[in-house]
Amino acid sequence: MGAFAVALHSVWADSGYISLHMSNIIMMIIAGILLYLAIVKGFEPLLLTPIAFGCILANFPNNGFEEGVMHAISMGIHFEIFPPLIFLGVGAMTDFGPLIANPNTLWLGAAAQFGVFIALYGAMSMGFTVQQAASIGIIGGADGPTAIYLATKLAPEILGAVAVAAYSYMSLVPLIQPPVMRLLTTKKEREIKMGQLRHVSKFEKILFPIITTIVISLLLPSISALIGMLMLGNLFRESGVTDRLADTAQNALINIVTIFLALGTGLTMSGDAFLRLATIKIILLGLLAFIVGTAAGVLLGKVMCYFSGGKVNPLIGSAGVSAVPMAARVSQIEGQRANPSNYLLMHAMGPNVAGVIGTAVAAGTMLAMFG
């Protein structure tokens, strides 16, 4: 009986219960809220569910994650493996035709990056280093893989907070953007029906990813992995001879990598690393960046509406952030609320694709300046 008691005491001493801190409990409660938003409210469950569950796992004391599969998943983030693979899948599932058909929407994608630089200067004024500020600012692009890629290179010490903020705001696009869009536009502007986009030839669609890769990668070599994989995925889609590769990239591969990337993001959310004043600042600055980026896109959309004689619906400017295709769908939904016969989705995909490219270019610029 004495030996059994000793063994039982040893098991208890090695368990997580005896080492559980209040910070771990708080993080588990936060994870529960994220699971509620994902499962009950339907806010991007494919992202929030593994992030939240990873957060729960990260807050088990003595979990032994320094080795094994969980360690390998974390290394996939730290060694910048997962973000380019996500971009491969995004490229394979995205039609770049609307951007090619209406190149002016590039300006809307560029305008949405305004929030990135506002947050950068705001973070520097709060005492963050310029490298940390750049990593925080990129959250405004609503592009989780790019935010992780940049933070890994410039400020790995805040990777967890940056990743969680970026993916949280990507998930909450349908909640955050509409109030900003309605505030900055009139009902008459939201009702504008845009004309049919011109037909884009197969030759144009094949040439676009090749030229874009060459031009941007030569200008900003540090992001050639992201841009190259994005454009390779799109080339798989448009070439007509790599259907199996395109299907794998946009379905099986991106689903697998999403699980690993989102779970790995959650694994960074341990209580001792996450519950800090700096984390709250990062999350608030990221929200500011996202709101300003959305507003800048809509405001430039209003300018384009004026100079086009009312032919451009300003709502498509909000899709300039790079949450593909969520931001474009939000533009479509808001347009149909104002005018049930409105169809803005394809028009919004132009600035949405431009936003993906623009955020990557912004990240490359910061790497060149501050790396």
Binned at pLDDT 50, 70 and 90, residue 6 comes out as low
Give the integer Cα–Cα distance in Å for 39 and 114.
Answer: 33
Residue closest to 298 by CA, chosen among 219, 192, 199: 192
Reported as a pLDDT band with limits 50, 70 and 90, residue 171 is confident
Residue positions counted in the chain: 371
Q: pLDDT tens digits, residue range 33-63?
A: 989 988 998 877 888 899 999 999 999 988 8
Residues whose CB is less than 8 angstroms from the CB of residue 204 and which lie 6 or more positions away in sequence, other chains included: 100
Residues 52 and 34 sit within 8 Å (Cβ to Cβ): yes
Q: What is the average pLDDT score of the chain?
A: 91
- Residue 116 maps to a domain: yes
Please indicate, yes or no, if residue 255 is contained in any of the structural domains. no
> What average pLDDT does range 331-348 have in this prediction?
94
CA–CA dist 177, 88 (Å, integer): 26
261 found inside a domain: no
User: How far is Cα 306 from Cα 293, in angstroms, rounded to an integer?
Assistant: 20
**Residue 13 confidence (pLDDT):** 66
Q: Is the pLDDT of residue 370 over 80?
A: yes
Distance between CA 363 and CA 138 in Å, rounded? Answer: 7
Each residue's pLDDT tens digit, 220-248: 999 999 999 999 999 999 999 999 999 99
In a domain, 58, yes or no: no
Could you give the angle at the alpha carbon of 202 between the alpha carbons of 99 and 92, nearest 5°?
A: 65
- Please compute the mean of the pLDDT values over residues 99-128 and round it to a whole number: 92
Q: What are the tokens at 279? A: 């984390």
Is 54 contained in some domain? Answer: no
Question: What integer pLDDT is reported at residue 136 of this predicted model?
Answer: 93
Work out the pLDDT band at 9, boundaries 50, 70, 90: low
Provide the domain limits for residue 328: 87-249+276-370
pLDDT of residue 232: 98
Whether 133 contacts 123, CB under 8 Å: yes
pLDDT above 90 (res 312):
yes
Nearest-angstrom CA–CA distance, 104 and 101? 9
Q: What is the pLDDT of residues 349-366, one digit of tens each?
A: 999 999 999 999 999 999
- Number of domains making up the chain: 1
> Does residue 258 fall inside a structural domain?
no
**Across 174-197, average pLDDT:** 94
What is the distance between the alpha carbons of residues 121 and 335, in angstroms, rounded to a whole number? 33
What is the per-residue pLDDT across 262-296, written as a single tens digit (0 to 9) for each?
Answer: 999 899 888 888 888 899 899 899 899 889 999 99
DSSP string for residues in 194-241: PPPPPP--HHHHHHHHHHHHHHHHHH-GGGHHHHHHHHHHHHHHHHSS
Res 250 pLDDT > 60: yes
Q: What is the pTM of this model?
A: 0.90
Given pLDDT bands bounded at 50, 70 and 90, which one contains residue 18? Answer: confident
Is residue 170 assigned to a domain?
yes
For residue 114, tell me if it sits in a domain.
yes
